[in-house]
Amino acid sequence: MLYNFDEIIDRKDTNAVKVERCKALFGTEEVLPLWVADMDFRTPDFILTAIRRRLEHPILGYTVPPANFYPIMQKWITDHHNWDVKCEWIGFLPGIVPGLAFAVQSLTEEGDEIIVQPPVYYPFFHVVQNNHRTLVYNQLKEENGKYVMDFEDLEQKFTAKTRLLILCNPHNPGGRVWTRKELEQFAAVCEKHQVTIISDEIHADMVLPGNGVHTPLATVSEWAENNTVTFMAPTKVFNMPGLISSEYIIPNAKLRHRFAEFLEASEMNSGNIFAYIGAVAAYESGEEWRVQMLDYVKANIDFVKDYLEKNIPQIVAMIPEASFLVWLNCKDLGMETDELHKFFSLEAGLGLNKGTVFGPGGEYHLRLNVACARKVLEQAMKQLKDAVEKIVGSR
């Protein structure tokens, strides 16, 4: 079956975050909203059909997970990521960001130090600071157009108060697919300092063609398996984030019990009926759609790269190895980050994420979501080109 990713779908009047918050974030509603990390592609029919089928029954009552819920997750992870997980390691999670907060709350105390690697997905900062833990930065370095870990700096950041390190694997916003060698070195440093790792692997199923495979951190060593809390989800890759359906994988029984006990005590260990149905449908029937979607996204990324190089050389794209997010370095436009953000929204009519919200290293950057119809992306690049030519011509 061939899926149509060229379809343009109007998301107005659906309470979509990327539409409803434009005025507040960009000062105008007249922008192409290319910021929030969901897709403008139609949620796959096999998911919508499964939900419609359930809606034929007239009662939406209290619900337990379907019998195949955890086995199908186990099979997907084993088949796609070469990780021989056991069903008892897996649990339901009502979203990965809440999961990060639950991990912070259940595995650390107020005042403990937690290391993150900016520039990185900004809720990493929020779950640390809002829970009164101490945020420690191990900033990534850019080498040859992509981010790498600064292990020398990381070694210096551990103290007697360090309890957790939150890893983004694959990385957001830089799109790195960390290699097994990098992850082995990373795990070895954490083992040396005996620090538990939370690995956010929501983009695990979004490795783009030609960029190798995703390596779950927990697979790189026996120590890593026993000291990593892994978060995954079908919601990102199958464009159903509104269903709030994620999973944790914790092989270590003691660590798993501690985390699960906290979820149970917080009454946060179960999902809604459609969270279960959507996840099962995605993992059962989603592979063909996933492959075609990634091919389309890769072509969109290539289009942006080529367009910028030919028409707007002042903006350089960091080409992602995974995900539909492109990290744009706009330093050569000669503006500070706030000014850049305003220029993109008010002059180019584009709503993108401001780089500084991703922490140190985000200066002069903006994050672009290319998971949209090609015509929308072409219009976005034309608007950007026209806006840049105006300011270049006026100098």
DSSP 158-201: --TTEEEEEEESS-TTT-----HHHHHHHHHHHHHHT-EEEEE-
The confidence band for 392, taking pLDDT boundaries of 50, 70 and 90, is: confident
The confidence band for 144, taking pLDDT boundaries of 50, 70 and 90, is: very high
Q: At what angle do helices 96-107 and 253-265 cross, to 10 degrees?
A: 110
pLDDT in tens, 223-235: 999 999 999 999 9
The confidence band for 393, taking pLDDT boundaries of 50, 70 and 90, is: confident
Domains and CATH numbers, the chain: 17-44+288-393 (3.90.1150.10), 62-285 (3.40.640.10)
Q: What is the number of other CB atoms lying within 10 angstroms of the CB of residue 31? A: 24
Calculate mean pLDDT across residues 290-298.
98
Percentage of the chain exceeding pLDDT 90: 99
pLDDT in tens, 6-47: 999 999 999 999 999 999 999 999 999 999 999 999 999 999
Percentage of the chain exceeding pLDDT 70: 99
If residue 136 lies in a helix (H) or strand (E), which one and from where to where?
A: strand 134-137
pLDDT over threshold 90, residue 241:
yes
pLDDT in tens, 245-291: 999 999 999 999 999 999 999 999 999 999 999 999 999 999 999 99
Q: Are 381 and 315 in contact (CB under 8 A)?
A: no
pLDDT in tens, 105-131: 999 999 999 999 999 999 999 999 999
For the question of whether the overall pTM of this predicted structure is more than 0.95, the answer is yes
pLDDT over threshold 90, residue 295:
yes
Cα–Cα dist 185/86, whole Å: 26
Question: How are beta strands 196-200 and 228-232 bridged, if at all?
Answer: parallel
Q: What is the overall mean pLDDT for the chain? A: 97
